[in-house]
């Protein structure tokens, strides 16, 4: 009961609207205190730690050329503290060290800005003092959150949530007894955008990119995050134990306390969950400088690599999701017996049928366990019903009478071992009986043919893919600019009854339409996919696209169907696809394509492509082929 009360208290504490702004200081004269004069003479407002505490960066929109990334007036004690680190320094010294009442309230600046005061005392050569005992909320929070050790946690990408397509990072804070049921005792520290009910809409995407959402830190029990990511969202989790000392963690947590309920502008591609956590690590250990590596974008997977490269990871632990475990055990069941899993998960009485009881006991045990896990998985994603609970209980009673089965999910290649997320390519090809050379760059991140080690098979996210072409007639042109391309061909879509899909938006050329002129094009597909052989995904999709050319009347809508196989051979990938398309301006087209990606090393590869297409009623086919070298950086 005591733990439950503390948990509820902490949740309330992190959502409480704080009133520190009521202590905002008036401008402070530099002549009314030796401490202020010393701070000015020492230029403390220019020191790196002070810029870290205020989260300052250069800014063209600020009149002073510098601006805090904190977008919350409650965080500043000077009226112009957001843009004036000197004024904020003087106001902090005045509120924390000079004009301090003998009796203070729990929302006093000394209770809130504990890191500021500690640093100012150190730099002004004042005796260190403990946080005042009147700061009850601070001591309650620090008493709950562990400071023995810390891990960086990376839940893998989750394509069904736009905010988590690139993965996500958070911190795990552990007490001393980390080896004893740690998930019940540890706490998570998370930074995320407050999007309300918005999700996967045009407004969502625009606001996420443009900083239209507020980002906040939050702290909840870690086991709740495990349930959210591993059981509900079906995401594998990687945990990286870091070598921060307890003193460094205490320093970091004091700053986290200052940031409770404080808003930042949240930018999906840079100032996001991962960037804010790197800031905390940089503050905890001066000289680490992790954030300096991320100037333009901050991809969560790249921050994992940066932390690993910094040499601060002491141990790595892999937690497979419930879905990953189900998929592994499901694939070990003979093909002709797999339908039993779905039948029993829908009606547990099937497990008592004479036909099922004819199977050997080891096979029955495996099937019933997978069926029970599948029911568990489904129940965690929907509201639980009494009937589902009864069904699970009956299956558990059956399992208790069956042989014990050891089942260990093999650990895949870790994310930090994956290829880098930007790509440059150079190659040659032939299309429309014309030879060409091509040069391109992709800003991010991974497609289904790239070396799959460290990535989710059948999933791709490509942003900013620019391709330039020069042909044998010395004609140079923009061949394509793919703004976004998402691919989700799951090898477990049938057993989990999920849809497979893809989506693309950008500029492209169709050699068979309007003399290959450039058009704006958006397209998508939806259907089903599943594992048909080991390491082979088969898919069938309904597809549609719309192209708009420079003239308003030049717009075309095409629909069709795609059937394909995607096979992984080690790090290599081979894709074979057939497509039947009904085109608005011509007869139906039948096409086939084969693509092969051969990794040469972690960040080097070759890709070969071949396409053959022909319109019905037309004798001549259109053939194209290309070969390219790809470098990831």
Q: What is the mean pLDDT of residues 117-138?
A: 96
Q: 236-247: per-residue pLDDT in tens? A: 999 999 999 999
Does 25 have pLDDT greater than 90? no
Does 19 have pLDDT greater than 50? no
DSSP letter assigned to residue 586: S
Same domain, 280 and 163: yes
Residues 6+ apart with CB under 8 A from 114: 131, 135, 138, 254, 257, 258
Q: What is the pLDDT, as a whole number, of residue 200?
A: 53
Same domain, 477 and 623: yes
Whether 378 maps to a domain, the answer reads: yes
Whether 413 maps to a domain, the answer reads: no
CB-CB contact of 569 with 557 (8 Å):
no
Question: How many Å apart are CA 265 and CA 211, to the nearest integer?
Answer: 5
Of 184 and 417, the structure prediction assigns the larger pLDDT to: 417
Q: In whole angstroms, what separates CA 415 from the centre of its chain? A: 12
CB-CB contact of 466 with 484 (8 Å):
no
What domain range is 519 assigned to? 418-632
CA atoms within 13 A on the CB side of 531: 16
Whether 13 maps to a domain, the answer reads: yes
In whole numbers, what is the pLDDT of the chain averaged over residues? Answer: 90
Q: Which tokens hold the place of 134?
A: 């009147």
Does 99 have pLDDT greater than 50? yes
Q: 500-550: per-residue pLDDT in tens? A: 999 999 999 998 899 899 999 999 999 999 988 889 999 999 999 999 999
User: What percentage of the chain exceeds 90 in pLDDT?
Assistant: 72
Question: How many Å apart are CA 589 and CA 408, to the nearest integer?
Answer: 47
Q: What is the mean pLDDT of residues 553-557?
A: 94
Q: What is the pLDDT, as a whole number, of residue 495?
A: 77
Whether 411 maps to a domain, the answer reads: no
Q: What is the pLDDT, as a whole number, of residue 28?
A: 52
Same domain, 508 and 422: yes
Whether 494 maps to a domain, the answer reads: yes
Same domain, 474 and 509: yes
- Write down how long the chain is: 633
Q: What is the pLDDT, as a whole number, of residue 13?
A: 42
Same domain, 267 and 301: yes
Does 43 have pLDDT greater than 90? yes
Same domain, 484 and 609: yes
Q: What is the CATH number of the domain that holds 492?
A: 2.40.160.40
Q: Provide the pLDDT confidence category of residue 357 given band limits of 50, 70 and 90.
A: very high
Q: In whole angstroms, what separates CA 561 from the centre of its chain? A: 31
Question: How many Å apart are CA 592 and CA 625, to the nearest integer?
Answer: 12
User: Last residue of a domain, which of 118, 143, 168?
Assistant: 143
Q: Cα(first)–Cα(last) distance of the chain, in Å? A: 52
Q: 223-235: per-residue pLDDT in tens? A: 999 988 877 778 9
Q: 559-569: per-residue pLDDT in tens? A: 999 999 999 99
CB-CB contact of 453 with 289 (8 Å):
no
Q: How many C-beta atoms lie closer than 10 Å to residue 432's C-beta?
A: 12
Whether 409 maps to a domain, the answer reads: no
Question: How many Å apart are CA 588 and CA 620, to the nearest integer?
Answer: 14
Number of domains in the chain: 4
Q: What is the pLDDT, as a whole number, of residue 1?
A: 38
Same domain, 484 and 620: yes
| DSSP labels, 176-188 | S-TTSSHHHH-EE
Same domain, 113 and 252: no
Q: What is the pLDDT, as a whole number, of residue 4?
A: 38
Q: What is the mean pLDDT of residues 361-367?
A: 94
Q: Provide the pLDDT confidence category of residue 204 given band limits of 50, 70 and 90.
A: low
**How open is the CA angle 299-300-301, to the nearest 5 degrees?**
95
DSSP letter assigned to residue 386: H
Does 31 have pLDDT greater than 70? no
Question: How many Å apart are CA 495 and CA 370, to the nearest integer?
Answer: 11
Whether 406 maps to a domain, the answer reads: no
Q: What is the pLDDT, as a whole number, of residue 591?
A: 96
Q: Provide the pLDDT confidence category of residue 24 given band limits of 50, 70 and 90.
A: very low
Same domain, 137 and 64: yes
DSSP letter assigned to residue 452: -
User: Last residue of a domain, which of 319, 344, 368?
Assistant: 319
Q: What is the pLDDT, as a whole number, of residue 20?
A: 41
CB-CB contact of 227 with 380 (8 Å):
yes
Q: Provide the pLDDT confidence category of residue 18 given band limits of 50, 70 and 90.
A: very low
Whether 405 maps to a domain, the answer reads: no
Same domain, 472 and 541: yes
SS (H, E, C) 203-263: HHHHHHHHCCEEEEEEEEEHHHHHHHHHHHCCCCEEEEEECCCHHHHHHHHHHHHHCCCCC
Q: Which tokens hold the place of 250?
A: 């205490």
Question: How many Å apart are CA 406 and CA 211, to the nearest integer?
Answer: 48
Question: How many Å apart are CA 178 and CA 198, to the nearest integer?
Answer: 37
Same domain, 587 and 607: yes
Q: 329-350: per-residue pLDDT in tens? A: 998 999 899 999 999 999 999 9
User: Last residue of a domain, which of 143, 158, 191?
Assistant: 143
Of 490 and 124, the structure prediction assigns the larger pLDDT to: 124
Same domain, 253 and 207: yes
Three-state DSSP at 442 gives strand
């Amino acid at each position: 009961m005591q733990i439950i009360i503390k948990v509820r208290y902490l949740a309330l504490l992190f959502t409480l609207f704080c009133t520190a702004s009521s202590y905002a200081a008036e401008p402070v004269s530099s002549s009314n205190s030796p401490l202020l004069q010393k701070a000015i003479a020492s230029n403390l407002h220019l020191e790196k730690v002070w810029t870290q505490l205020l989260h300052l960066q250069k800014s063209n929109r600020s009149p002073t050329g510098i601006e805090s990334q904190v977008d919350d007036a409650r965080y500043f004690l000077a009226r112009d503290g957001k843009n004036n680190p000197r004024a904020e320094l003087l106001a902090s010294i005045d509120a924390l060290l000079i004009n301090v009442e003998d009796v203070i309230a729990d929302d006093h600046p000394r209770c809130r800005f504990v890191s500021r005061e500690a640093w100012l005392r150190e730099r002004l050569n004042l005796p260190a003092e403990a946080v005042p005992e009147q700061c009850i909320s601070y001591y309650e929070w620090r008493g709950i959150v562990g400071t023995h050790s810390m891990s960086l946690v990376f839940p893998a990408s989750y394509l069904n949530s736009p905010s988590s397509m690139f993965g996500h990072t958070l911190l795990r804070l552990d007490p001393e007894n980390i080896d004893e049921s740690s998930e019940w005792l540890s706490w998570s520290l998370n930074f995320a955008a407050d999007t309300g009910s918005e999700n996967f809409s045009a407004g969502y995407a625009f606001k996420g990119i443009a900083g239209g959402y507020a980002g906040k830190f939050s702290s909840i029990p870690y086991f709740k995050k495990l349930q959210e990511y591993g059981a509900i969202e079906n995401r594998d989790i990687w945990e990286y134990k870091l070598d921060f000392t307890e003193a460094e963690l205490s320093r970091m947590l004091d700053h986290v306390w200052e940031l409770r309920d404080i808003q930042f502008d949240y930018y999906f591609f840079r100032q996001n969950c991962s960037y804010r956590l790197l800031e905390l690590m940089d503050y905890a250990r001066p000289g680490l400088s992790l954030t300096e590596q991320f100037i333009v974008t901050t991809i969560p997977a790249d921050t994992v690599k940066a932390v690993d490269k910094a040499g601060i990871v002491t141990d790595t632990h892999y937690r497979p999701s419930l879905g990953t475990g189900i998929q592994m055990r499901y694939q070990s069941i003979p093909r002709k017996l797999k339908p039993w899993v779905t039948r029993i998960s829908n009606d547990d009485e099937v497990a008592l049928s004479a036909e099922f009881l004819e199977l050997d006991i080891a096979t029955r045990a495996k099937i019933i366990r997978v069926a029970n896990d599948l029911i568990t998985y489904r129940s965690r994603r929907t509201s639980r019903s009494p009937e589902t609970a009864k069904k699970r209980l009956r299956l558990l009673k059956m399992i208790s009478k069956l042989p014990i089965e050891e089942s260990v999910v093999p650990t895949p290649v870790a994310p930090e071992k994956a290829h880098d997320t930007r790509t440059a390519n150079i190659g040659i090809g032939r299309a429309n009986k014309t030879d060409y050379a091509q040069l391109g760059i992709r800003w991010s991140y991974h497609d289904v043919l790239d070396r799959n080690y460290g990535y989710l098979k059948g999933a791709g996210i490509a942003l900013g893919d620019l391709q330039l072409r020069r042909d044998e007639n010395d004609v140079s042109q923009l061949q394509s600019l793919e703004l976004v391309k998402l691919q989700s061909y799951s090898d477990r879509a049938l057993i989990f009854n999920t849809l497979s899909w893809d989506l693309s938006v950008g500029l492209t050329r169709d050699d068979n339409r309007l003399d290959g002129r450039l058009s704006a094009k958006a397209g998508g597909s939806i259907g089903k996919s599943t594992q048909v052989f080991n390491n082979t995904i088969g898919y069938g999709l309904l597809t549609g696209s719309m192209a708009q050319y420079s003239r308003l009347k030049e717009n075309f809508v095409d629909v069709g169907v795609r059937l394909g196989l995607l096979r992984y051979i080690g790090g290599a990938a081979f894709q074979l696809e057939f497509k039947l398309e009904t085109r608005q301006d011509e007869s139906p087209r039948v096409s086939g394509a084969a693509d092969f990606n051969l990794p040469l090393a972690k960040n080097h590869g070759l890709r070969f492509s071949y396409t053959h297409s022909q319109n019905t009623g037309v004798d001549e086919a259109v053939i194209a082929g290309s070969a390219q070298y790809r470098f990831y950086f």
